[in-house]
Amino acid sequence: MSESLNRKNNFDFLRLVFSSLVIFSHSFPLTKNDEILLVATNNQLDFGSLSVDVFFIISGYLIFTSLKYSSSPINYFFKRCLRLFPALFFMLFISLLLLVFVYTGQNIFKQNDFYSYLPNNLSLYRIQYKVKDIFESNPYPGAINGSLWSLSYEFTMYLFLLLLYPFRKNRKIVLTALALSFLFAFLAVTIIPTFLSGIFAFFRLDSAQMYRLAAFFILGSILSLINSDRLNTKAVKILLLLLIIASLFLNIYNSTSYILLPILVIIVGTSYSKTLAYFPEKFGDISYGIYIYGFIIQQTLLNYFVLNPYELTFLTLVPTFILSYLSWHFIEKKFLKYKNYTYNFHL
């Protein structure tokens, strides 16, 4: 969910694939089925959590790069808000219009939770998943947009990186701070995931999720400061993939993934394949739209039809891609033109 300074890479392709995999992953619990990767890996990993991990790795890499070249803290923060909120606002607004048609109660316009849906979700930290009498007969009842949970965690990491702004051009200080932060997050999630849980709960964040996603995000940022060209070979990519698969067989993925997955994602992302880049270059960076629109489209389909996970995935992808295309070209891309509006404003 960030702009890349060098467009000749595979990051947009990776985000496109993994945002689509989120829809595939959600199709199983939404139809009361077990997610196939979760079953295959003995409950270690599902496509949804894998996709979110990849998003945070890529965000850590690209957003720290954006931080380095931001003209001021205001400029950095403004760019992050432009990337996140305009598309989110329009998606939530469209969702409210849709809710009127799928509502099964007496009068939706007399319900307080209908009016609180947009501002609560736009706040990021007060996610509201339900409005009374919406999707309550679905196999996965009530939830309108379960994908929104991760946005508060990502925004928190944006704020974390902002603390490093005064030191952004001092590689030694930044690397030390990021390395210590990664070590803290890694130890916390693997040993004491409830550490400081009360503080995180105040912001409606789960401490274990925060530490897990922070570890991936921070290592992505660290890798943006390290020249990985020597690792960017076919043999290394295959080796890393095999090590990840082996760790799943050995039931140690939840420990090894914090190192192996970010390295693999970044060296694949920093490569460039004209073939892989074809769709993103032709249609735009539609991954954010896919992520925020997919769930509500799935629930809407299940409100009217009985579908299996594969049917639901296929029927969801088409309208989601269309809405995401429109979101990118008519909302996201247009707002990003103003990303340097604060260029001359310095604290």
Q: What's the 3-state SS for the chain?
A: CCCCCCCCCCHHHHHHHHHHHHHHHHCCHHHCCCCHHHHHCCCCCCHHHHHHHHHHHHHHHHHHHHHHCCCCHHHHHHHHHHHHHHHHHHHHHHHHHHHHHHCCCCCHHHCHHHHHHHHHHHCCCCCCCCCCCCCCCCCCCCCCCHHHHHHHHHHHHHHHHHCCHHHCCCHHHHHHHHHHHHHHHHHHHHHCCCCCHHHHHHCCCCHHHHHHHHHHHHHHHHHCCCCCHHHCCHHHHHHHHHHHHHHHHCCCHHHHHHHHHHHHHHHHHCCCCHHHHHHHHHHCCCHHHHHHHHHHHHHHHHHHCCCCHHHHHHHHHHHHHHHHHHHHHHHHHHHHCCCCCCCCCCC
Give the span between the Cα atoms of 133 and 153, in whole angstroms: 29
Percent of the chain with pLDDT over 90: 89
Task: Of 31-40, 79-88, 102-111, 274-283, give the lowest mean pLDDT range.
Answer: 274-283
User: Averaged over 155-160, what is the pLDDT?
Assistant: 98
Does residue 343 register a pLDDT over 70? no
Question: Is 283 inside any structural domain?
Answer: yes
pLDDT at 1: 42
Q: Domain of residue 160: give its range.
A: 11-336
Domain presence at residue 156: yes
Q: Which amino acid is at 93?
A: F
Q: Which residue carries 């509500």 as its tokens? A: 296
Structure tokens at 217: 């995000």
Residues above pLDDT 70, as percent of the chain: 96
Rounded mean pLDDT of 176-186? 98
- Closest among 29, 79, 30 to 299, alpha carbons compared: 30
Query: Mean per-residue pLDDT for 80-85?
Result: 96
Enumerate residues 6+ apart whose C-beta is below 8 A from 319.
Answer: 297
- Whether the CB-CB separation of 150 and 52 falls below 8 Å is answered with yes
- In the block, which residue shows the tokens 């894998």? 50
Residue range 213-259, pLDDT digits in tens: 999 999 999 999 998 888 889 999 999 999 999 999 999 999 999 99
- Answer yes or no: is 148 within a domain: yes
pLDDT tens-digit map of 104-145 = 999 999 999 999 999 999 999 999 999 999 999 999 999 999
322 within a domain of the structure (yes/no): yes
Model confidence band, residue 341 (pLDDT cutoffs 50, 70, 90): confident
| Predicted confidence (pLDDT) at residue 6 exceeds the cutoff of 70 | no
Q: In the predicted model, is pLDDT for residue 78 greater than 60?
A: yes
* Residue 260 is assigned to a structural domain of this protein: yes
Q: Are 264 and 213 in contact (CB under 8 A)?
A: no
* Amino acid at the residue 248: L
At 336, list the tokens: 């990003």
Q: Specify the higher pLDDT residue, 281 or 33.
A: 33
Give me the number of domains the chain comprises.
Answer: 1
Q: Indicate the average pLDDT of the chain.
A: 94
Region 42-67: mean pLDDT is 96
Task: Name which of 133-147, 203-217, 251-265, 333-347 the model is least confident about.
Answer: 333-347
Count of alpha carbons within 13 angstroms of residue 220, beta-carbon side: 31
Residue 120 within any structural domain of the chain: yes
User: What number of residues does the chain have?
Assistant: 347
Is 47 within the bounds of a domain?
yes
The label of the residue with tokens 């000749």 reads 8
Q: pLDDT tier at 3 (50, 70, 90 boundaries)?
A: very low
- Residue pair 123/109 in contact by the 8 Å Cβ criterion: no
**Tokens at 287, concatenated:** 């991954």
* Cα 4 from Cα 337, distance rounded (Å): 14
Note the pLDDT of residue 228: 80
Alpha-carbon gap, residue 48 to 55, rounded angstroms: 11
Residue 52 domain-assigned (yes or no):
yes
